[in-house]
């Protein structure tokens, strides 16, 4: 069965600094028409930085849409056309105050494919050096360091609900377990 939907029209309802919102009309595989609401986003990157002792760096940050402090791996949005690897290095140093000798690309993550085109690129980092945070003027966060095993347990217990953090931490743990990432 053909699964592809053909875009017939696109109408921008909002264009902002971080997202754009479009209203599309599309043709379904059976020929019927449907409407699609799409959030455009340049994407992001997140990094799971692991020490030789298998500890990782997380950040606590107030997330306005949830009205709560969320614990997550260092992450950031991509500027239009920005290389995700360079952005990952930048965000790791800005937010956690860490640089790394080794980076491992772990793939991409689609956080909300039903309506948003955001893609988050996932990295693990090892052989770390500590440089000190260099936060953006509108960033307020605290760095915490916990064992990778504790992070996996917190994910499985529902204590780390951030999707990108779950994806990058679990992938990192499996890659280390399977000797594909060396500490």
pLDDT bin (cut points 50, 70, 90) of residue 135 is confident
- With respect to residue 182, please indicate whether it lies within any of the assigned structural domains: no
Percent of the chain whose predicted confidence (pLDDT) is above 90: 96
- With respect to residue 1, please indicate whether it lies within any of the assigned structural domains: no
What is the tens place of the pLDDT at every residue in 64-95? Answer: 999 999 999 999 999 999 999 999 999 999 99
Q: What is the largest CA-CA distance in the chain?
A: 57
pLDDT bin (cut points 50, 70, 90) of residue 137 is confident
Global confidence as pTM: 0.95
Q: Which domain holds residue 82?
A: 42-177
| Pair (139, 56) in one structural domain | yes
Mean pLDDT of 7-21: 97
Burial class (CB in 10 A: 0-12, 13-18, 19+), 106: buried
Indicate the number of domains in the chain.
2
- Would you say 44 and 123 are in contact if contact means Cβ atoms under 8 Å apart? no
| Pair (21, 62) in one structural domain | no
């Amino acid at each position: 069965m053909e699964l592809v939907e053909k875009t017939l029209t696109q109408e921008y309802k909002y264009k902002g600094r971080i997202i754009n919102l479009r209203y599309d009309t599309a043709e379904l595989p059976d020929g019927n028409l449907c409407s699609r609401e799409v959030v455009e986003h340049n994407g992001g990157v997140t990094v799971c930085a692991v020490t030789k002792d298998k500890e990782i760096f997380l950040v606590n940050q107030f997330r306005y849409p949830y009205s709560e402090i969320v614990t997550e791996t260092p992450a950031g949005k991509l500027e239009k056309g920005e290389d995700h690897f360079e952005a990952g290095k930048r965000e790791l140093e800005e937010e956690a105050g860490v640089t790394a000798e080794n980076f491992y690309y772990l793939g991409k993550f689609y956080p909300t494919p039903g309506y948003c085109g955001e893609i988050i690129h996932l990295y693990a980092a090892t052989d770390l050096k500590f440089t000190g945070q260099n936060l953006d003027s509108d960033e307020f966060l605290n760095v915490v360091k916990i064992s990778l095993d504790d992070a996996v347990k917190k994910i499985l217990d529902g204590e780390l609900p951030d999707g990108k953090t779950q994806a990058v931490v679990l992938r990192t743990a499996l890659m280390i377990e399977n000797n594909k990432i060396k500490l």
